[in-house]
Amino acid sequence: HTTTTTARASSSVLTPLVSFDARPSAPDTHTMSAALSAAPSFTALARQTRALTSRRPHSANATAVPRPVVPVFRVSAAGADAATTTTATTPTRNWSKCPEPAVVAPGSELEALLHVSNLVYDTKRCVNEYGELGKQAATVSAAILLATLMSNTKDVGALEGAMVYEPCTLEECAMDEDARLECVIDKAFVNLGAMMAERVEGLVSVEVDVHAAHDPEQIVARARRMRDMFDELGVSRDKILFKIPGTWQGVQAVEALEKEGIHCHVTLVYCLEQAAAAARAGATLIQVYVGRVRTWYKSRHEQAVKNHLGDAADPGVEFVRQTCAFIKSNGLKSKVIAASVRGRSDVLALAGVDYILLNDRIIAELNDKVSSVSGASGPLEDQMASATCPDHMTEDLAWIDQGAFETALRNSAAMEYLENGITGYVSAEEQLKEFIKQKMPPPNV
């Protein structure tokens, strides 16, 4: 079908994309068995996906893979009095469970926000659809790969190609079945990441072995291996972020990888010491969680005081403000993405953060509200411009060793939520492994 969108006003573009933290619910055993039964045969798919297993360098003469043209949220660059029409043609599909493309309303809070922050459309409910149609960024994780395999779309080739990838054979893995399975998962992540890189204009975040969250050497080894796999497929290194939990060991791995030019996305960050350590390590992107931090401190005023958030009207928002202020005042390169954003008031308080992760409900609410900014198409006030980090905290953060880091975790929301997050990621990866084991061909195939 063809979708035509007409919009007015400024130069910003908001496009639907895969969430940086999309985690679809795990399938039940019955559903998984049904999907396995319905999945195309290994032999047929292996023949179709040999291209994903080859060690071919990127060729300037190679035939370009056409990118899908997609429905977009767009505001015209021609000004408030001009109109522009964007036509997007996509294959017919069932959009009943996904938000419809929308127009950014001239003079709305959404339009004003686009002048000061990049908006990341959180599409947890539509991982597969927006995995194909997203235009700005994407994430590859165990949960998303499993959802892709369960959906039985053409992207199942990411796994089928990985299972016939020569370096992942038992012989190449020293006859170690566990090593073979890890290799297949890494290659499947890379194959799916390469597909996403062809479909989105922005970055693709790829999860690194979550079992290694406390093992810096293993994190570095797995990220390097996947980097080399992306190189084989001709994917630009500047297109990929490796997503690593914000443990002390994870931060050490990030520092080593960033020095090699391997860009990292540090996730599960819930306290200023975590954020500061990740920024000093050179992390390209740091993901912080507004609503979860607020909820944790709501009944823990003593901890809020200890962490210099006790006088804040909103500890979650203040945590983000202090993070942005610390990065800016120290001249560090890291960008911040605010997740766990729960309502319009959160968004307005976060205006000016590099990236804000929003769901369709909040986007619609912002789009319906007329901005209080004087003048048509004016930006919202950059709330991060006035953000500060307490002087004594700046001194404390000048040097963070492992002991201070882990004490900060225990005295904040970080310990609980970080470990819960890692546990969730590990659970998803274990389910993915069980799925793959049932599909894995015998060693002699």
Residue type, 60: A
Residue listed under structure tokens 């798919």: 45
d(CA 186, CA 221): 11
Confidence (pLDDT) at 58: 40
> What pTM value is reported for the model?
0.77
How many other CB atoms are there within 10 angstroms of residue 380's CB atom? 21
d(CA 213, CA 397): 23
246-275 pLDDT, tens per residue?
Answer: 999 999 999 999 999 999 999 999 999 999
pLDDT < 50: residue spans in the chain:
1-98, 101, 124-135, 374-376, 445
Token couple for 294: 């607020």
How many other CB atoms are there within 10 angstroms of residue 129's CB atom? 20
Confidence (pLDDT) at 266: 98
Confidence (pLDDT) at 243: 98
Q: Find the length of the chain.
A: 445
Confidence (pLDDT) at 378: 59
Cβ neighbors of 323 (< 8 A, separation 6 or more) are 269, 272, 275, 276, 286, 288, 336
Catalytic hit among 135, 187, 239, 243: 243
Q: Where are the beta strands (DSSP E) in 164-284?
A: 204-207, 240-245, 264-269
Annotation says 433 is catalytic: no
d(CA 246, CA 277): 9
Confidence (pLDDT) at 373: 61
Helix (H) or strand (E) holding 8: strand 2-9
d(CA 378, CA 23): 35
The packing angle between helices 142-151 and 177-199, to 10°, is 80
Confidence (pLDDT) at 443: 59
d(CA 192, CA 187): 9
